[in-house]
């Protein structure tokens, strides 16, 4: 097992304000501690509005090492302006590619050639009694397992380029996909990364998947794709979020024996979009945590 330490610090953090004068975005300066095998690009943490208690963040991370690493856990510490610890959290790095670990696929890995990944942040500050204005820096401890990359099982292919569809109060980014392999797969937990007009990335979202039905205009929510099935990944944003452009689509899929209709959070009462993203992040991380535990016990 290899351990690495990465710290994103602000001295002080740069911030941007909305038209009320309240900060909605911070940009901590980033530096690396104790290792040269990871570098971090500009990191941003923001929220949808001045009244939101949820923060989103995207920290692009590049791996410069040579040993393949999988199940890379990020222990995240949020610090105040005096360097005091506000609260801790944990998640996993994710990247645009997928590997097979011997039993399941995962997108939390890096290799020398597939070396770009992201640390995605979503936290409800209300859970910790913290105000957005108190945040000053973020510390990450990265812990990954050595492994040898293997091609994923199943194949989901991107078809065409992303496109946007507008509603009366929302707009949706879409990416067409196709199961180009010979196995049935579950495309749950794919996500989109957005950037604003200034090229800043902090907003991201899990996608909802739709399969094309019997007619060209018939789309049915379903994350189970059999061989040859076509469909799209979609994520709806509110017009109040401003003009965000889809910057990266991180496809995630795993093989499945399920041939029914798969719907995310079916039967739950989670309707708030921020709560949905927060819940899905916890579910995805727990699935990864379980898979990592099995992998380590091999």
pTM recorded for the entire structure = 0.88
- CATH numeric code, 156-264: 2.60.40
Domain 2-146 is found in CATH 2.60.40: yes
Ramachandran region, residue 94 (left: φ > 0; alpha: ψ -120 to 50; beta: rest): beta
Q: How far apart are CA 65 and CA 38, in angstroms?
A: 7
Six-digit token string for 295 = 């992998």
Q: Give start-end residues of each CATH 2.60.40 domain in the chain.
A: 2-146, 156-264
Question: Is 229 within 8 Å of 161 (Cβ atoms)?
Answer: no
Residue 137 CA: distances (Å) to CA of 55, 157, 169, 229, 248: 13, 38, 34, 44, 25
Six-digit token string for 74 = 């990020």
Collapsed DSSP state (helix, strand, coil) of residue 60: strand
> Which residues, 6+ apart, have CB-to-CB distance to 273 below 8 Å?
236, 238
Question: Is 290 within 8 Å of 105 (Cβ atoms)?
Answer: no
Collapsed DSSP state (helix, strand, coil) of residue 191: strand
Give the 3-state secondary structure of 170-185.
Answer: EEEEEEEEEECCCCCE
Across the chain, which has 298 residues, the per-10-residue mean pLDDT values are: 38 44 60 65 86 93 95 92 92 97 96 96 96 89 93 96 91 96 95 93 95 75 94 90 88 90 71 90 96 91
Task: Indicate the helix (H) or strand (E) that contains 122.
Answer: strand 116-124
Closest among 219, 172, 210, 218 to 188, alpha carbons compared = 210
Collapsed DSSP state (helix, strand, coil) of residue 117: strand
Q: How far apart are CA 245 and CA 161, in angstroms?
A: 12
| Residue 195 pLDDT | 93
Q: How far apart are CA 16 and CA 2, in angstroms?
A: 37
| Residue 14 pLDDT | 55
């Amino acid at each position: 097992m290899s351990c690495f330490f990465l710290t994103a610090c602000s001295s002080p953090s740069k911030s941007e304000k909305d038209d009320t004068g309240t900060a909605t975005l911070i940009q901590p300066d980033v530096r690396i501690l104790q290792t040269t095998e990871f570098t971090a690009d500009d990191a941003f943490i923001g929220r949808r509005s001045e009244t939101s208690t949820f923060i989103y963040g995207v920290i692009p991370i590049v791996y410069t090492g040579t040993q393949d690493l999988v199940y890379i856990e990020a222990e995240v510490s949020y610090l105040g302006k005096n360097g005091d610890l506000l609260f801790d959290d944990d998640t996993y790095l994710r990247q645009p590619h997928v590997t097979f670990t011997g039993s399941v696929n995962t997108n939390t890995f890096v290799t020398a050639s597939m070396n770009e990944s992201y640390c995605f942040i979503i936290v409800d500050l209300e859970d910790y009694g913290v105000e957005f204005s108190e945040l000053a820096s973020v510390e990450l401890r990265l812990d990954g397992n050595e492994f040898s990359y293997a091609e994923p099982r199943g194949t989901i292919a991107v078809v065409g380029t992303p496109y946007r569809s507008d509603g009366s109060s929302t707009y949706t980014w879409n990416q067409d996909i196709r199961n180009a392999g010979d196995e049935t797969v579950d495309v749950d937990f794919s996500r989109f990364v957005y950037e604003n007009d200034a090229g800043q990335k902090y907003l991201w979202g899990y996608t909802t998947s739709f399969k094309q039905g019997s007619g060209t205009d018939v789309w049915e929510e379903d994350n189970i794709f059999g061989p040859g099935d076509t469909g799209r990944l979609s994520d709806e944003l509110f017009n109040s979020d401003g003009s965000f452009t889809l910057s990266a689509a991180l496809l995630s899929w795993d093989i499945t024996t399920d041939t029914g209709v798969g719907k995310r959070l079916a039967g739950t009462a989670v309707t708030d979009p921020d709560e949905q993203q927060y819940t899905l992040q916890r579910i995805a991380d727990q699935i990864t945590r379980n898979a990592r535990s099995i992998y380590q016990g091999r």
